[in-house]
Structure 1
Amino acid sequence: MKVREKKMAEAAERSSMFDVAIAGGGYVGLSLALALKKADTTMAVVVIDPKPMDVLGKDPRASAIAAAASRMLDQLGIWSNIKDKAQPVNEMIVTDSKLRDVVRPVFLTFGGEAADGEPFAHMMPNGVMLPALYEAAKALGVVFEAPDSASTFRTTPDQVEIDLASGDTVCARLLVAADGVRSKLRDLAGIRTNHWDYGQSGIVTTVKHERPHNGRAEEHFLPAGPFAILPLTGNRSSLVWTERTLDAKRLVESDDFTFELELERRFGHHLGKVELDGPRNAYPLGLTLARDFIKPRFALAGDAAHGIHPIAGQGLNMGFKDVAALAEVLVEARRLGQDVGAYDVLERYQRWRRFDAFQMGVVTDVLNRLFSNDNDVLRAARDFGLGLVERMPSLKSRFIKEAAGFAGPAPKLLSGEPI
């Protein structure tokens, strides 16, 4: 045995051995851990995250949960406990205008049902969803190494050895990197990405308003980028406000009066007086697509594999698609007596998810470039296109199906079926 492999074998004897180690305790990492344990309670799963898990309930953001994703959360046993905190999206409107325009004509409307009695999406507070995923995973026996982080890793034909910042070592058959768009582990694995920066930032905050939104979501295409108003429970809405990066920085750092003044110019007066109801933060926007989703005994999931523009609201739901596909591949492989970290097993996951992620990345990139500008010729062309879609019910139904997460061959969990 080579000296390096001998040292790794000795380290494995001193460390914990798992079937799957997941780096990242966000919605992707937690839901993957829960999905694996829910389908196979004998599978040994560990989640590694640099933050303590008791801060999950303090996340002030909210996420759009597509109908397919809510079906998955139902299969994972948490939807019934959290759905009363979710706001169904009953309708969506799309406008296109300049900031100074007094009237914003509605070019496109969507009904809110993917199926009878099933809204195509819900808005869910992260501070509700993340703790529910954590508690359910912990109850099934998922091990948590938190706060801690994976500093480096090495692979052999049989396992992956993960060195933690604390000095501990974890060994597993497979390491899944769900550590975000700036994934350190992706770089350590030698996976290259296609990336470009849009020069935009997304301002995320929550507001309260006088009048009820009636479950209506709004997306206003403005020259600097889309301004999305997403309904929350009560007379509150979550905002995803795209601005050029320097302007976003200025707005986030401004006083409340200045910020609310600029907010009112974009939000309008149709819901009455609007006030801030939470912190405001800005996140840089770009497109990041991993060229490979796998390496030997290593897989990417969520934003580590694909970071896209929020213009279509599909970032989180793409992560849930990764979870459903990867969990199904790993569980079925284990039932057949296969090694969950074997390359041919991981290739099934890559074939299932890489093209879809690339396709969605291209779509959001084209939409952002088409709508985030002040070109009158492009505005006339895109408004004509929106109006055409509005008059074609079959095409609108297809878009609703896509937004609900039902387009293409869906993993079992996203179809509401157990693995």
Structure 2
Amino acid sequence: MPTQTDPEFDVVVAGAGMIGCTCAVAIAQSGVRVALVDPGPINLKHGRPNQMRVSAVNLASENILRALGAWSVLKAESLSPFRQIDVWDAGSPGQITFRAADAGLAHLGHIIENEAITAALTTQLSQLGNISCFAGDSIETFESDHDGISIVLASKQNINAKLLVGADGAESRVRSLAEISVEKTPYNHQAIVATVSTELPHRKTARQRFLDTGPLAFLPLQDGHSSIVWSCSPQRFDELNDLDDTAFSAALTEAFENRLGAIALASSRSSFPLINQHANQYIAPRIGLVGDAAHTIHPLAGLGANLGFADAAALAEVINNAHHAGKDIGIRPVLRRYERWRRGENTVTAKTMDVFYHTFGTSRPGIQSLRGAGLQLVDKTSLAKDFFMQYATGLRGDLPKMAQKGPISSE
């Protein structure tokens, strides 16, 4: 039970990854007292990033990071802008190209290492006097009532707040303790990630080829390397996993039709299972979920992290508005506004990704012909192409205010 000596906060954020830090900084900038809890270290230095895990940060998410002051902290070598997206189908002649210049934009997005984003955000939170960090600790249990929520950490430290935000990933303990159920559907795919060098320059172009066994994406990095995400069926994954680095590089070169010439691994390989997961509720009494704690989708369009950034910005907007109006920020009417806003948007995106996954994951001739014709049609129809361009850049839909700042135009 809480005591008078327990630390008091307005919001406790569980999880100090990209989305948790975004949420913490966005809320704290309005003067709300925030505690950030994470079982690992909360890095306050922008050190050498890890290129194994990167995110395709769209223009809406860039706007959010700019609004929080984190974008200016990112080092130039961490920012890998891409100005073109090439997509083609292995099972048909279908292909489509999106160019930033066609939309009057300087770029369509950036490929950035996850650790670099987190480090930039923690640099910002270190400058805010109303954020307290509980590194090396985690949420053990909590109790909520009419007045607030009492949280016990694994260290047995007690803290009190009005709201607990679960930004603690796909296996969220906050979600589990709140007894929020999820709908989970395995994609029956494994994703292989690695950094590679290519014989030909990537020319700041993100590329994706749809194979019958899963999509293969090449994401351009600032130093000339590329980050790959190869989604594979179980059989294909086992075949690739058994290959040594030389044989894997050869298989990668062949699968990508030599578009970038000979390819060689520049890092070790890592892999993880792909799962479609969506929480049935984003809120519980004095609880809110953001990012992977609320949803995970297939990475074929690179939207997962961007949905999380939008969640964090939307929740912060709702909380800060309620705070400035003198309302209790943890009550259900306040949190329901966030849930209605973001769950609908994320559901549409998740279902769209499922359609793409199933449509491009079959070798049935009739469907291959239809999807090829569809790609060609969109590529030649400016209205349809503009729609998908806005979708890819994140500038479509009911955006949080932080995401709405106009994108940088091309010169």
Q: What range is the shorter-chain TM-score in?
A: over 0.9
- Aligned partner of 2:390 in structure 1 is 401
- Aligned counterparts, 1:34-45, within 5 A: 34-38=25-29, 40=30, 42-45=31-34
TM-superposed CA distance for 1:378, in Å, is 1.2
TM-superposed CA distance for 1:105, in Å, is 4.4
TM-superposed CA distance for 1:416, in Å, is 2.5
Equivalent pair of 1:210/1:235 in contact (CA under 8 Å): no
Task: Pick the structure with more helix per residue.
Answer: 1
Equivalent pair of 1:208/1:236 in contact (CA under 8 Å): yes
Residue in structure 2 matching 1:358, options 337, 342, 347? 347
Kindly provide the CA deviation profile for residues 364-385 of structure 1, in whole angstroms up to 9, marking residues without a partner as x. 1111011112222211111111
Equivalent pair of 1:196/1:287 in contact (CA under 8 Å): yes
Q: Distance in 2 between matches of 1:83 and 1:335?
A: 34
Equivalent pair of 2:83/2:106 in contact (CA under 8 Å): no
TM-superposed CA distance for 1:262, in Å, is 2.1
- Aligned partner of 1:80 in structure 2 is 72
TM-superposed CA distance for 1:129, in Å, is 1.4
User: SS state of the match for residue 316, structure 2?
Assistant: helix
Residue in structure 2 matching 1:196, options 185, 202, 206? 185
Give 5+ residue unaligned stretches, structure 1: 1-7, 99-103
- Aligned counterparts, 1:3-402, within 5 A: 8-10=1-3, 13-38=4-29, 40=30, 42-54=31-43, 57=47, 58-60=49-51, 61-82=53-74, 84=76, 85-98=78-91, 105=93, 107-113=95-101, 116-141=104-129, 142-245=131-234, 247-248=236-237, 251-252=240-241, 254-402=243-391
TM-superposed CA distance for 1:285, in Å, is 0.7
Equivalent pair of 2:38/2:136 in contact (CA under 8 Å): yes
Kindly provide the CA deviation profile for residues 328-369 of structure 1, in whole angstroms up to 9, marking residues without a partner as x. 000111000011111111111011101011111111111101
**1:334/1:358 CA distance change after superposition, 3 Å:** same
Q: Distance in 2 between matches of 1:332 and 1:212?
A: 47
**1:245/1:180 CA distance change after superposition, 3 Å:** farther
User: SS state of the match for residue 2, structure 2?
Assistant: helix
Please tell me the residue identity of whatever aligns with 1:64: A
Equivalent pair of 1:114/1:120 in contact (CA under 8 Å): no
**1:115/1:389 CA distance change after superposition, 3 Å:** closer
TM-superposed CA distance for 1:206, in Å, is 1.1
**1:249/1:18 CA distance change after superposition, 3 Å:** farther
Equivalent pair of 1:210/1:274 in contact (CA under 8 Å): yes
TM-superposed CA distance for 1:279, in Å, is 2.8
TM-superposed CA distance for 1:254, in Å, is 4.1
Q: Distance in 2 between matches of 1:365 and 1:407?
A: 19
Aligned residues: 401
Give 5+ residue unaligned stretches, structure 2: 407-411
Please tell me the residue identity of whatever aligns with 2:225: R
**1:340/1:115 CA distance change after superposition, 3 Å:** farther
**1:208/1:185 CA distance change after superposition, 3 Å:** same
TM-superposed CA distance for 1:229, in Å, is 0.8
TM-superposed CA distance for 1:80, in Å, is 2.3
Kindly provide the CA deviation profile for residues 50-98 of structure 1, in whole angstroms up to 9, marking residues without a partner as x. 1112498554321101011111111111212326231211111111115
Indicate the larger mover: 292-301 or 60-69: 60-69
User: SS state of the match for residue 267, structure 2?
Assistant: coil
- Aligned partner of 1:4 in structure 2 is none
Please tell me the residue identity of whatever aligns with 1:73: L
**1:254/1:169 CA distance change after superposition, 3 Å:** farther
TM-superposed CA distance for 1:14, in Å, is 3.4
**1:115/1:130 CA distance change after superposition, 3 Å:** farther
**1:115/1:377 CA distance change after superposition, 3 Å:** closer
User: SS state of the match for residue 410, structure 1?
Assistant: coil
Equivalent pair of 1:249/1:282 in contact (CA under 8 Å): no
Q: In angstroms, what is the RMSD of aligned CA positions?
A: 1.9
Kindly provide the CA deviation profile for residues 131-178 of structure 1, in whole angstroms up to 9, marking residues without a partner as x. 111111122132111111112221111111222112212211100001
TM-score normalised by L of structure 1 = 0.91
Identity within the alignment, %: 36
User: SS state of the match for residue 95, structure 1?
Assistant: strand
